[in-house]
Amino acid sequence: MADSRLERSAIVGCLLGGAVGDALGLPREGLSPARAQRFFGAPDRHRMLFGRGMISDDTEHACLVAEALIRSGSDAKNFEQQLARGLRRWLLCFSVGGGAATFQACIKLCLGVSTSHSGVDSAGNGAVIRSALLGVVFGRDRNKLREYVRRSTRITHRNERAYQGALTVAVAAYISANESEVSGHLLLSQLRHVLDGKDSYYFIGLIEDAVDSARSKERVSNLALRLGCHRGITGFVEHTVPCVIQVWLRYPNNYQAALQEIIGAGGDTDTTAAILGSIIGAREGKGAIPERWLNGVVDWPQSNQWIEKLAATLSRQLNEGKPQSPPKIAWPLLVARNLLFALVVLLHGFRRILPPY
Ligand SMILES: [Mg+2]
């Protein structure tokens, strides 16, 4: 990206677009589309805590990628070590909400296992939620993109599908931030160049089906059903990524409509909305996020303002090339926040025991 203002807008939009999607989808996570509708009605407002939204691991891990990029300068190996350091800190701050594979990998990292052996054989979404920002930053350089996505993925997920899903989302985010027109044809032609490795034809086949589905303008819930998701989109890349791509191709410029559609399809809603929100946010910037959605996220200390500062620092670092320090965060306060967050999640869990079913 040559224009630094454009780059900054894309980074801010990517991180905030993901955060708002995460917060909107979070109260519905794991519910079927029908039960979520009975519980909360249409996905058009925050429902986590007194009509406000909170972020989860999806946003926290995207921010860890930004922090690792800022600290490591242009050194990919150092990036991997900095990301591992962030993941260890994330676990030690009593964070909750990550997928099982990410959690296991973080425990291994805390026990001193190296980044090349910490990953678990899982094709969950953990690495995909970290890859949109890598696409925005490195998408122009195919080899660099592959290297950063590979290093980011293998820390937690060593299954090849996790890498293929992460790379697909990174390419989508790059196209979204840079190309004047978004199309399935463009996505597929770039993917065929970038996705190598064994079995990549299988993943490209999944994306081809998603492109056909978008072309026929069907609801994403129909695609999810064909993929075998009967209670909403699961947290596995081979379900999540085609569904996210399908909605993105139908609404590349419409953040609100896209997020309502993917959250309405149920399942792993915080993650699907975070990934889709970060891809569209990278194109449209912060201004495309409805104000009531943006201002309704009341999290702290990783607030919207902190995320914007983080994006600004990353943009500066990319222009100057030298490693820098990310904006400070009060870690003891983050622990207190995480304990409160765990309580809110627990209350939502208890509420689900009660009707409506
Ligand atoms: Mg989450």
Measured in Å, residue 31 CA sits from the centre of ligand 1 at 13
Give the mean model confidence (pLDDT) for residues 26-40.
95
* CA of residue 278 to ligand 1 center, whole Å: 14
Please give the Cα distance from 42 to 24 (Å, whole number). Answer: 11
Q: How far is the CA of 10 from the centre of ligand 1 (A)?
A: 22
Q: What is the pLDDT of residue 331?
A: 86
Return residues with CB closer than 5 A to ligand 1 (ion).
56-58, 97, 270
CA of 233 to the centre of ligand 1 (A): 14
159-179: pLDDT as tens digits: 999 999 999 999 999 999 999
Distance from residue 91's CA to the centre of ligand 1 (Å): 14
Measure 55 CA to ligand 1 centroid, in angstroms: 8
Q: Name 124's bridge partners.
A: 236
Centre of ligand 1 from the C-alpha of residue 100, in Å: 11
Q: How confident is the model at residue 199 (pLDDT cuts 50, 70, 90)?
A: confident
Global confidence as pTM: 0.97
Q: Compute, in degrees rounded to 10, the torsion defined by CA atoms 87, 92, 93, 99.
A: 50
Return the CATH superfamily for domain 4-351. ADP-ribosylation/Crystallin J1 (1.10.4080.10)
DSSP letter assigned to residue 41:
-
DSSP 50: T
pLDDT confidence bin for 74, thresholds 50/70/90: confident
Q: How far is the CA of 321 from the centre of ligand 1 (A)?
A: 32
- Alpha-carbon distances, residue 305 vs 48, 285, 329 (angstroms): 20, 15, 12
Q: How confident is residue 4, by pLDDT bands cut at 50, 70 and 90?
A: low
Other Cβ atoms within 10 Å of 146 Cβ, number: 19
What's the whole-number mean pLDDT along residues 141-168? Answer: 97
In this prediction, residues 330-357 reach a mean pLDDT of 93
- Cα–Cα distances (Å) from 122 to 131, 151, 156, 271, 308, in that order, read 16, 15, 9, 16, 32
Q: Domains of the chain: which residue ranges? A: 4-351
Q: What share of the chain in percent tops pLDDT 70?
A: 98
Residue 296: the pLDDT is: 98
Chain segment 86-104, per-residue pLDDT in tens: 999 999 999 888 889 999 9
Q: What is the pLDDT of residues 205-218, one digit of tens each?
A: 999 999 999 999 99
What span, in angstroms and rounded, lies between the C-alpha atoms of 87 and 100?
A: 14
Distance CA 223, CA 229 (A): 9
Confidence of residue 32 (pLDDT cuts 50, 70, 90): very high
Per-residue pLDDT at 5 exceeds 80 = no
- Element housing 331 (H / E): helix 331-351
Q: How far is the CA of 21 from the centre of ligand 1 (A)?
A: 10
